[in-house]
Amino acid sequence: MSTPTPVEPGHDAVVEKDALDSVVHLMPIVLPIVGGVLMLMLASIAVFLA
């Protein structure tokens, strides 16, 4: 995803932490919760306007 930095032969490779990789494992938890909140908000708006 990101451009790797060149590594000199005498130094250890530094592992870069990608921002996307740190968030991906939370998606199965976050997406259903956000979807439920969005449905409740839309339903409350529909009931309020009816």
Q: How far apart are CA 31 and CA 37, in angstroms?
A: 10
Is the pLDDT score of 50 beyond 70? yes
Pick the closest to residue 3 from 18, 21, 13 (CA basis).
18
Are the CB atoms for 20 and 1 separated by under 8 Å?
Answer: yes
Q: How far apart are CA 36 and CA 40, in angstroms?
A: 6
Q: How far apart are CA 19 and CA 2, in angstroms?
A: 10
* Digit-coded pLDDT (tens) for 5-43: 666 666 655 666 788 888 899 999 999 999 999 999 999
The per-residue pLDDT for 10 is 62
Only one residue has tokens 């009816």, namely 50
